[in-house]
Structure 1
Amino acid sequence: MIDNFKPPIKSRTTEELLNIVGSPKKWNRDAVYLAKHELANRNVDTSEIENAIKAAEKEEAEEILRKANKSYQISDFVLTPKSTLLELLFTWELKKDGYILKAKQQKTFRITLIIVILFVYLIKFIQES
């Protein structure tokens, strides 16, 4: 197999190779294969490879948990009100992307925002009449 990666897999540090092998979902299949092969050539102990895989799995689980518990904060509305409101109104895949708490909050905020917007337009319409 040809190493067309930049930088080449063979020139990477052992730590970088362990990161590649530990996170195969993030890497090209050929890169993972070449990294495993290079680690074998460097006589890296299989326990180190297993530890790298476990560490990557733990990091991935922590990231999933972090996403699931991420919520809207008051600072989101103060610091970035436009993008937060646009996200609340038009983003449909928060739950699919793993943001479970944000998706729950979005349902409530979306309904409230729509009611407020309709109420404002209704008052404006009544005042113009």
Structure 2
Amino acid sequence: MADNFKPPIKTRTTEELLNIVGSPKKWNRDALYLAKYELSNRNVDTSEIDKAIQLANKKEEEEILRKVNKSYQLSDFLLKPKKTLFELLFTWELKKDGYILKAKQQRTFRIKLIVVILFVYLIKFIQEN
């Protein structure tokens, strides 16, 4: 099998190879195979490979928990108002992407924002006439 990766799998450090083997969902099948083969050539103990897999699984679980518990904060509205408002009004994938709490907040905020926007628009329309 050709090693067409940049940098080539063979030239990567043992730690990088363990990261590849530990995160098979992030890498294609060929990279995974070449990393395992190279680790075997370097006589890396299987316990180290198992540790790398456990560490990657733990990081993935922590990332899932971080997403689930992520919520909108006042600082989001103060520091990034355009981005936050755009996300509230037009993003539909929050729950699918794992942001459960943000998705719940979005449902509430979206309705309130639309009502406020319509109210402001109505006030301006009335003032012009």
Common fold by TM > 0.5: yes
Instruction: Report what 1:8 is aligned to.
Output: 8
Q: 2:58: which partner in 1?
A: 58
Query: Aligned pairs, how many?
Result: 129
* Aligned-partner residue type, residue 93 of structure 1: E
Hey, what does 1:36 align to over in structure 2? 36
Query: 4+ runs of 1 displaced by more than 3 Å?
Result: none
2:70 alignment counterpart:
70
SS in 1 for 2:62: helix
Cα distance between partner residues in 2 of 1:18 and 1:3: 17
Q: TM-score, normalised by structure 2?
A: 0.96
**C-alpha distance in structure 2 between counterparts of 1:7 and 1:122, whole Å:** 59
Amino acid corresponding to residue 106 of structure 1 in structure 2: Q
**DSSP 3-state at the match of 1:6:** coil
Give the match's secondary structure for 1:95. Answer: coil
Shift of 1:128: 3.1
C-alpha deviation, 1:127, in angstroms: 2.8
- Segments of 5+ residues of structure 2 without an aligned counterpart are none
Q: CA RMSD in A?
A: 0.9
Letter in 1 for 2:98: G
Q: List per-residue Cα deviations over 1:42-93 (Å, max 9, x = no partner).
A: 1111111011001000000100110111111111111111111011000000
TM-score by length of 1: 0.96
